[in-house]
Structure 1
Amino acid sequence: MPETPYLETREEVMFFDTDCGGVVHNLAYLRMIETNRTRLAALLGMKLRDMAQTQLFPVVIRTEIDYKKPAVLGDELVIEGKLESVERVRFWCSFVMKRVVDSTVLITCRQALALVQMPQGKPMRLPEDWAERFAHLAAVKAKG
């Protein structure tokens, strides 16, 4: 079976990531996920410079997130991102955020994305080669 695209990124919780309660603010978690997802997109063939030239962007159309445990100032975090499933016009990525020191799961997240041609805002089909490259992920979604 082909490998599922997967990427780990690391973050350290900074002052600007925390709220008045001293824990990571929900928007900071999403920023960290965004960094992982952007780098994962590059593995899928959607590099930032190419997107800027073609004006074809993966756009988040749905986010599902579960906050399990809080991260705090100074925590080192690892974000694991992977391509979860592929459909005709959208794809799903999933993310798990853990504290490095004890591997505690802090966040689980799924995001649905669609390719959108700008500036028209026109949804586009996923690249033709994705059907073959990620057939094992399309089959998983069809069974679910």
Structure 2
Amino acid sequence: MPDSAPTLETREEVMFFDTDCGQVVHNIAYLRMIETCRTRLAAKLGMDLPSMLETHIFPVVTRTEIDYKRPAKLGDWLTIRGTLGEVSRARFWCGFEMIRESDGALLVTARQSLALVKMPEGKPLRMPADWLERWG
């Protein structure tokens, strides 16, 4: 029986540089916040930044799907929840939700497909056997 999916939460305050002239968050800012959550989730899974630099194995985003439900605005505090999803031999998926803390509104849902790549060769790798056993 697979282990329960690893999850991680991060928090972000919407800053001026995240917004447009209407004080609404830019789409690229949401992706930056997701990137932060995903990087910390990867560390929880054993792929922290020092380990990646040592092994030269990096999780590479191959696809992003994002649904914008409601806008975040300047000064909002957001909780970003990342979860490891499906794991196959060649890739894995992570899912994300972004919640505005002041009212609990679901603002964004997203999912990303990632593959492991050995650098500098750019060689795709299979998922670790223990990942398939634990979460596959």
Taking the TM superposition and a 5 Å limit, the aligned residue runs for 1:22-41 are: 22-41=23-42
TM-score relative to the length of structure 2 = 0.96
Tell me, in whole angstroms, the C-alpha distance in 1 between the residues paired with 2:132 and 2:75: 42
CA RMSD across the alignment: 0.9
Tell me, in whole angstroms, the C-alpha distance in 2 between the residues paired with 1:29 and 1:99: 12
Amino acid at match of 1:21: G
Amino acid at match of 2:111: R
Q: Percent identity?
A: 67
Query: Cα distance, 1:67 vs. partner?
Result: 0.5
Query: Cα distance, 1:91 vs. partner?
Result: 0.1
Q: In proportion to residue count, which structure has more helix?
A: 1
Query: Cα distance, 1:101 vs. partner?
Result: 0.8
Q: What SS does structure 1 have at the residue aligned with 2:80?
A: strand
Q: What SS does structure 2 have at the residue aligned with 1:32?
A: helix
Instruction: Point out where structure 2 has 5 or more consecutive residues left out of the alignment.
Output: none
Amino acid at match of 1:33: I
Q: How many correspondences in the alignment?
A: 135
Query: Cα distance, 1:132 vs. partner?
Result: 1.2
Amino acid at match of 2:63: R
TM-score relative to the length of structure 1 = 0.91
Amino acid at match of 1:119: P
Equivalent position of 1:17 in the other structure: 18
Amino acid at match of 1:36: C
Query: Cα distance, 1:24 vs. partner?
Result: 0.4
Tell me, in whole angstroms, the C-alpha distance in 1 between the residues paired with 2:5 and 2:70: 27
Tell me, in whole angstroms, the C-alpha distance in 2 between the residues paired with 1:19 and 1:59: 29
Equivalent position of 2:66 in the other structure: 65
Report whether the alignment pairs 1:100 with 2:105.
no
Tell me, in whole angstroms, the C-alpha distance in 2 between the residues paired with 1:96 and 1:34: 12
